[in-house]
Amino acid sequence: MLTAFARAFKTPDLRKKLLFTLGIIVVYRLGAHIPIPGVNYQNVQICMEQASANQGLFGLVNMFSGGALLQITIFALGIMPYITASIILQLLTVVIPRLEALKKEGQAGTAKITQYTRYLTVALAILQGTGLVATARSGALFQGCPQASQIVPDQSIFVTITMVITMTAGTATVMWLGELITDRGIGNGMSILMFISIAATFPGSLWAIKQAGNLAGGWIEFGVVILVGLVMVGLVVFVEQAQRRIPVQYAKRMIGRRSYGGTSTYIPLKVNQAGVIPVIFASSLLYIPALVAQFAGGTSGWKTWIDQHLVKGDHPYYIVTYFLLIVFFAFFYVAISFNPEEVADNMKKYGGFIPGIRAGRPTAEYLSYVLNRITWPGSLYLGLIALVPTMALAGFGANQNFPLGGTSILIIVGVGLETVKQIESQLQQRNYEGFLR
């Protein structure tokens, strides 16, 4: 693999793409450390050193921003508004006929949906930026830190608007950088930036576990965590590559004097067809009651119950609810993203059929049957990946947002595999060796 990377840098056009991607990554990481106007950076650093951030509530967004959220930098919101906008547009495509028609128009329709995604990203960035500024001003971003209420010394309207505009512009810049990587670099730009954001939180979190350990100065705990992480990565790679291949045979057709069709292919149905989306959905949904309870005043019974049962990631209520939500959203997302009837109609239109299954409705029913059966192990796998690290690493000072947890591992492995495949395909176009040498 290392020799393949060396050959990639020896190829002029591929080397240019790799260097361009690395340059964009450097710019992205620099922006994640530039504080926005109106923030007392010294007080932010004091609160960060005391490790009093409410990771249970803001940990997911902080992870996707590469730690920039809690430092309130110009890229504080990171890629999260774009992810949310993309998911919303994908869900609305199934509900709104106009968006579904645009999706079927091909490249022109896709470009239009992409434009809508950009507009929605900016709107969500304004909304999330306003919420972040309000949280920072109230001192709720860092609980237990005496300097938390002085993070934004000047709480005038002008300073607040300036902070929101700066973070919104930062989100738009991140979106533009991701599109630049997609057009001129290697891999999907948004996925690459998400990969870098999550990977940037690894060293600090691993070192925190080492410092919190008691055995041999924390090195034993550190080694165990690394070992568990490697095992999890191997498991995720194995499951992410697993798929059920449904054979499809195309009948031979004569058009004029030429013969078309008569080929055999297959429909690949992945075991984890939904990807990381169910984990993100479940995490976001569980943050809503915690967010409402945080901003609710007083010590009412429902607020106390939420603080005790749905905020702590190691509570049985939280674990069971989290697991069930992941399973539910796995089936929900697969149901809206894969339409067996549409696939069966397209196969029938072009003369394709599954051996032993009649074309049309029987084919759609067979695809639904197979999809439901492989979605069960896929959803259970997602739930275990999201929960096992929480329980196994709780004794080493980790929390529910530890980098080797479910969301981060799924994204790291998925993006890594996809990027390696793209580099391999680029190399195979030139020397037909790639990573198999």
pTM: 0.79
Residues 224 and 184 in one domain: no
* Number of domains present in the structure of the chain: 2
Residue 18 lies in a domain: no
Task: Specify whether 271 is located in the same domain as 134.
Answer: no
Mean pLDDT of 326-345: 87
Tell me whether residue 26 is in a domain: no
Domain that holds residue 398: 212-404
Is 124 or 54 the better-scoring residue by pLDDT?
Answer: 124
Q: Model confidence over 192-240: pLDDT tens digits?
A: 888 888 888 788 777 777 777 676 667 887 788 788 778 888 888 888 8
Q: What is the mean pLDDT of residues 305-332?
A: 78
Q: Same structural domain for residues 138 and 220?
A: no
Average pLDDT over residues 355-383: 89
93 plus 223 within the same structural domain: no
Beta bridge partners of 35: 73
Instruction: Considering only residues 318 and 390, tell me which one the structure prediction assigns the higher pLDDT.
Output: 318
- Domain assignment present for residue 104? The answer is yes
Q: Are residues 48 and 115 in the same domain?
A: yes
Q: What is the pLDDT of residue 175?
A: 92
Please tell me the predicted confidence (pLDDT) of residue 44: 81
pLDDT tens-digit readout, 173-189: 999 999 999 888 888 88
Is the Cβ–Cβ distance between 259 and 253 less than 8 Å?
Answer: yes
The answer on pLDDT for 244 being more than 50 is yes
Residues 157, 121 share a domain: yes
Is residue 9 included in any domain, yes or no?
Answer: no
281's CB contacts (< 8 A; 6+ apart) are 87, 325, 329, 333
Ranking 20-24, 47-51, 153-157, 239-243 by mean pLDDT, the lowest is 47-51
pLDDT averaged over every residue in the chain: 79
> Which tokens belong to 238?
């194995």
In a domain, 248, yes or no: yes
Based on the fold, state whether residues 75 and 180 are members of the same structural domain. yes
Question: Looking at the structure, do residues 92 and 233 belong to the same domain, yes or no?
Answer: no
Is residue 390, in this structure, part of any structural domain at all? yes
310 and 393 both lie in a single domain = yes
Dihedral pair phi/psi, residue 188, rounded to 5°:
-80, 125
Q: Please report, for the domain that includes residue 98, its CATH number.
A: 1.10.3370.10
Together in a domain, 245 and 178 = no
Please give the pLDDT value at position 86: 87
Residue 196 lies in a domain: no
Side chain identity, residue 155: Q
Predicted local confidence at residue 28, as pLDDT: 92
Let me know whether 128 and 222 are in one domain.
Answer: no
262 and 353: one domain? yes
The residue among 420 and 120 whose pLDDT is bigger is 120
- Tokens 């429902």 belong to 302
pLDDT at 376 (0 to 100):
92
Residue 419, in any domain of the structure:
no
Confirm if 275 and 409 have CB atoms less than 8 A apart. no
